[in-house]
A = this chain, B = another copy of it.
Amino acid sequence: MPHIRIALSSGRTIEQKRKAAAAITDAMVRELGCTHESVSLVFSDVDDHDWAAGGSLLCDLKAAKGRSDSKP
């Protein structure tokens, strides 16, 4: 009956989520002794303007990084 919620930047493919769900469920079974069928998991996509780290939106952090990366 464990329930896992994963907030994740938007943009992953279904194939990536498929593999991640399988691998994380396997880890829950192996390390925590859960039964395989009891594990439920939800991915929640988050847009770059809806995350912040250190008080700055992810879209702003990426834009700043893009500017600094492109400096000569």
Contact = CB atoms under 8 A, between A and B. Distances in A.
A68 to B, nearest CB: 17
A52 to B, nearest CB: 4
B7 A3 contact: yes
Counting every copy of the chain, the complex holds 6
Of the candidates A7, A19, A31, A37, the one having the most CB atoms from chain B within 10 angstroms of its own CB is A31
Given A5-B5, A18-B56, A41-B53, 18 more contacts: A1-B51, A2-B8, A4-B5, A5-B7, A12-B32, A14-B57, A16-B32, A17-B49, A17-B52, A20-B31, A21-B55, A24-B55, A37-B53, A37-B54, A39-B53, A40-B51, A42-B51, A43-B50
Interface of A: 1-9, 12, 14, 16-28, 30-33, 36-46, 49-60
